[in-house]
Each structure stands twice: as C-alpha cells, then as structure tokens.
Amino acid sequence: MSTRRTFLKQSAVAGSATAFPLVGGAQPRPVKIGVLHPVTGALAYSGQQCREGAMMALEDVNKAGGIKSLGGAKLEALLGDAQSTPQAGAAEVEKMNEAGVSAVLGAFASAICLATTQAAARHGLPHVVDVGVADQIVERGLKNTFRFGPGYRTCAQVAVANLHVLNTAAGKPAKTVMIIHEESLFGTGTANLLSRELPGYGYEVKEVVKHANPTRDFNNIVLRMKSVNPDIVIPANYYNEYALLVRTMQQQKVQPKAIYSVLGGAASSYKFLKEFPDASNGIIDCNHWFNPRDKRSLELRKRVEAKGLFFSYEVFMAYTAMRLLADAIERAKSTDRAAIIEALAKSTFSDHIMPYGPTKFVDGQNQGAQPLMTQVIKGDIRVIIPREYREAEPVFPLKA
C-alpha cells in the first residue's frame, strides 16, 4: 500500500537521482572492458565462475569511486562468451575491438587465451590473462599480454620439488607415478613438463594417459591404473573430468599413496569438497591459491558464498586480474590502449590477496606469481606448503 509519506520519500529519491548529474557536472565517459570467458560449452562452469570474479572486482572498483584519475570514470563490462573454443574466443575479441573496449580480460583456458591474446595483439589491445597457465601465452613476444598468475612450468617445478620434500620426509615410500591429463594445451603441456621433471628426482613415470573433454567413463583408465599400480596419481584436467576420475577410483577401490594434483580442476575446490567429501579427502594440489593470512581473502570468500557460489580459484584469479587492470588504468590516466599497456608493464600492484608480493612483469609474466600447495584435511582445504602460508601439517603418504 502506498501512503503519502512513502510517495514523498520515493519522489525525493527519484528527484535526487535525476538531479545528481546536474550537480556533479557531466559524468566522465565509462571505460569499456571486454570480459571474455567460456560461459557455455564444456568449460561453462569455470567460465561462469571467472566472469563472476571479474564482475565483482569491477563493481568494487566502481563502488569505491571508479577510476579517480579519469574523474571517477566507471568501468563498464562488455561480456563475451568464448563457447569453450579458441575460434569463438578470437571472434569475440574482434567484436570487442569493434565496440571500442580499452582492454580485454579473460579467457580462462590456455588454448582459448592463446587465440584471444593474439587476436587482441593485432589491435594493440591490452589483454590481461586471468588463468591460462600455458607458458606459450607469454612467450610469443606479444606486448599486449600480461599474466598475473603463475604458468604451468612454475607450477610443475614447484609441485615436483615439493613432492620430493614430502616423500623424503616420509622415508621415500613413493617411487612410481601415473599422470592422467586432458588432451588440450593445458593438460598436455603440464603432463609433458611433469614427465620431464620427475625422473630428475628419481621417480619413474609409469604411464601417461590422456583423455578427451568431456569424458563420461573413466573405468578403462582406472583399470589401467589398477594394473600399473602407481604410488602416486597425478591428474591434470578440468573440474568435471577430475571429479569423475577420482570418484571412479573410489568406486574401483584404487588407493594410491597420494593423489597429487598439479593444477587439478577439482582438487582444491570447495564445490568438490562439499559434493564428495569422502572422495576428496587427503588430495594434495599444487594450484592457484589466495594468501590465507590476508583477512580480505576471507571477506571475499564470504561475499562469494553469500551469493550461493563456491569460492573457487577461477573467482579469485579473475577478481585480482580485474583489480590489476583497474590499477593500471588508474595510473595510465587514460583509456588509450597503448597507455594502459605501458602502465601494466610498469605495474607494481601489491594491494591484492594473492601470495605474490608486489607485481613485476617481465615479458608479460608476473615474476612473483607462485602456486601454493594445499591438501584436503578434515573437511577443509588447508595450505601445507610453503611454510610462511602453512595452515596444517601435510599428510603423506595417505593411510589406506
């Protein structure tokens, strides 16, 4: 029911809203940013999580007054869908370029990022890579491409070195390894790096098995695992396949000494933890992770969870990538693409929740970026390595 008083209140609000621009003078033109992710297709879940993270950062920046050096200009997202294929991703970049965006942020999967960064480079369009772990992304000399997080070479090296530390501390119970990876650039590249690194530490890589996306039956792979009987199983794949693989292992009663993931799609995922608490127990992962000592990461987690979403790595990676971009636009004092690229290259962005320290780009790669090692312990994901971020003592090997 509408009373006279509420009517007055509403008209006052409406009045002030329409009057505000007159008081504040002309609003500065918004800064258009292409937010490009695979929100449909096989990678839809991850893509949607990324988009959510990026949009939250964008809203935070706008709420805090926008880009101050541009008179409080708001960031405006132009959403794009890469449909889980590189071709569609590249086509979206062309559209965003036509629409006059100042920068592109995306595009989650390595294979898609490879295509979108290249398409953006043709137009001198700055491209911040939010996840895309393949190192080729930043190794082609593209001046427009900046990756805030670590690449898979760093992740593989950190993972293998730490595996050796854990194994040595436990009296070297593990000697053999089986790698299961998805067949696109991310999985194949990670598997190749691991196969190269592991023998150097004295581990025998018994099997490397690849699979398609999507795969709905891991029985054969798990049977192979049974016959190979590896001490350690290393999966490198996306969420759905990771989850199904681990569940199939549970069904077939295959229990290696450790499931040791490198950038495992579901290994350090609150979603997986909630859906399959038994299957996820004890899984170790070397992956993107936030600084657990930073209070703001917990606040962000609460906000994400309040929306009914899981605080997955996609969310906080895309969130911080957007903050990094906003910081660069602030310092560029311009919506000009070249100026933003220059500001990104000189970035020392340190006001973030990742365990990277101040940003320093060399050839588009943030030098301080590092993965953390986590393990699912007593129903929660805890950081086990490195020591300065440690929340729990590692459990290795797993008791059968």
Partner 1 sequence: MLSFDVLFPSVLNGLTTGAVYALVALGLTLIYGVLHIVNFAHGAALMVALYAVWLLKTHLGIDPYLALPIVVPGMFALGYLLQRVVINRASHGKDENILLVTLGLSIVMENLALMAFKSDTRTIDTPYTLTTVAIGPAMIALPKLIAFAGALVASAVLLWTVRRTDLGRAIRAVAKEKQGARLMGIDVDHVYAMSFGIGLACLGAAACFLLPAYYVNPQVGGGFVLVAFTIVVLGGMGSFAGALVGGLLIGVVESLGGLFLGESLGQIGIFAIFIAVLLFRPQGLFGARA
Amino acid at 40: T
Tokens of 279: 């299957």
324: enclosing H helix or E strand: helix 313-332
Q: Kindly state the smallest distance separating residue 157's Cβ from partner 1, in Å.
A: 26
Pick the closest to residue 137 from 119, 159, 158 (CA basis): 119
Applying CB under 8 A, which of residues 71, 214, 277, 386 lies at the interface with partner 1? 214
Rounded to whole angstroms, what are the CA distances from 217 to 184, 279, 289, 342, 372? 18, 17, 29, 48, 30
The smaller minimum CB distance to partner 1, of residues 63 and 216, is found at 216
Contact criterion met (CB below 8 Å) for 91 and 46:
no
Binding status of residue 11 toward partner 1 by CB under 8 A: no
How far apart CA 267 and CA 258 sit, in angstroms, is 12
Q: Kindly state the smallest distance separating residue 179's Cβ from partner 1, in Å.
A: 12
How far apart CA 224 and CA 209 sit, in angstroms, is 9
Site track 305-344 with partner 1 (rule: CB under 8 A), x = hit: ----------------------------------------
The smaller minimum CB distance to partner 1, of residues 199 and 214, is found at 214
Q: Kindly state the smallest distance separating residue 215's Cβ from partner 1, in Å.
A: 7
Amino acid at 107: A
Binding status of residue 247 toward partner 1 by CB under 8 A: yes
Part of the chain binding partner 1 (CB under 8 A), chosen from 50-58, 105-113, 215-223, 302-310? 215-223
Part of the chain binding partner 1 (CB under 8 A), chosen from 61-69, 209-217, 344-352, 365-373? 209-217
The smaller minimum CB distance to partner 1, of residues 150 and 256, is found at 256
How far apart CA 369 and CA 391 sit, in angstroms, is 20
Applying CB under 8 A, which of residues 41, 72, 368, 397 lies at the interface with partner 1? 41
Rounded to whole angstroms, what are the CA distances from 299 to 98, 234, 271, 358? 37, 32, 18, 21
Part of the chain binding partner 1 (CB under 8 A), chosen from 16-24, 34-42, 69-77, 380-388? 34-42
Applying CB under 8 A, which of residues 60, 139, 183, 330 lies at the interface with partner 1? 183
Preceding amide of 235 cis, omega within 30: no
Q: Kindly state the smallest distance separating residue 204's Cβ from partner 1, in Å.
A: 16
Contact criterion met (CB below 8 Å) for 92 and 116:
yes
Q: Kindly state the smallest distance separating residue 250's Cβ from partner 1, in Å.
A: 8
Question: Which residues, 6 or more positions from 172, have their beta carbon under 8 angstroms from its beta carbon?
Answer: none
> From the CA atom positions of the chain, what is the Rg in Å?
23
Query: Can you give the binding site for partner 1, defined by CB under 8 A?
Result: 40-42, 44, 83-84, 183, 209-212, 214-217, 219-221, 223-224, 226-227, 240, 247, 251-253
